[in-house]
Structure 1
Amino acid sequence: MAYDLEEQEQLATLKAWWAKYGNMSTWVVIAGLAAYSGWTGWNYYQRSQAANASVLFEEMQSAVGKDNAKVLRAAGDIESKFGSTAYAQMAAMAAAKSSFDTKDLKSAKAQLQWVIEHGNEEYKAIAQIRLAGVLLDEKAYDEALKLVSAEPLPQFKAAAADRKGDILAAQNKLEEARAAYKAALEASDKKNPGRQLIQLKLESIGGTVPEEKA
């Protein structure tokens, strides 16, 4: 069918535009499709990683309390193969507790250190407090104190201050320990059952429990 004059002008304009920008437009479309494909592929990869990690994590949990060597092997597999998933942090924390319970402090420290280096901020904060506790048992007071001296996340202020008090009390730095325990009490929720233990520790080193504000 013949084109009328207006259609011919429109076609000529389109051809001219395509000659100038067509190649660029094609690449923009290709880039967009590639980005979408990459995004969906990444999401699929992440889901696949999490699913595989969950299987290993369940197997690891079945060995907790029975076979610490198996727990450590499973945790190592999860950390090396699925380190970007939350299961890796959970596995490392569980392996650290399993190792601590079986007096394998070297492995416990290694697992907690892995979380400190690779975990998110919350897991890192928990691992620092727990590692400080292991170091306290080993009488590595200076190393332990460093882990709880930095400003913690708000939700961990009480736990960090409490652990700091334990370390200072072990060093016989009683005035500083009392200050740390008082800070722990101030930062803890009034309904937290752990407050009673902090109060007992404070009183045991000659401290006075601050009166609660009305």
Structure 2
Amino acid sequence: MEIIAGDQPQHHFVLVHGMNHGAWCWYRVVTLLRLAGHRATALDMAGCGVHPARVDEVLTFEDYSRPLLDVLAALPPGEQVVLVAHSHGGYSVALAVERFPEKVAAAVFVAASMPAVGRAMAATSDELHAYVGPDFIMDSKEFEQKNQKIKGKPFIFGQEFMAQKGYNMSPPEDLTLGLMLVRPANSFTTNNPEEGVMRDENLLTMGRYGSARRVYVMVEDD
């Protein structure tokens, strides 16, 4: 793929990874964006990638998404970014757009969960799980929850799942990298009255999240 940095407007892309992954999974995309003259920032959500928190220290989905929320909060007045989400990262991006719509030029969902206004974000996850069925996750596994304040169990993709469904069209070295770097994470989709974010039907509003420019990228072979 040839990248030419010409006279096109340059943007600041902020990239949000999916479940169990981290900023590292965007390394090829970050390279291409920067070669094209854009700014590109890949983030680790709390407890993911090289973020120092342990999975049992991240109590809520808002805590999990805090690295993204903090980046948007710190932007100078008038500056906007293009948010890009993959998979489970769509929920963090939706939350960020709702909180900071004036700082988001566009939200791009790349084969990502894109929740709807007026529905709990976790409803999208419920529908996905019902559609693919329990056998879809293959050898992925859950761990015992060490922190009883967190409902649900930490989860990690299995080696066969990643090889056959996650990285089946990727170079083999990317699968090796992924298997080395994935970390357990909580999805925060379990029905928990204390969670408040993923199960809040009034969280995403038409005036904020609903008014933002949203782009969905459907990957046919995903």
Q: Where on the TM-score scale, by shorter chain, does this alignment land: which range?
A: under 0.3
* More helix per residue: 1
Q: TM-score of the superposition, structure 2-length normalised? A: 0.25
Larger-Rg structure: 1
Q: TM-score of the superposition, structure 1-length normalised? A: 0.25
* More strand per residue: 2
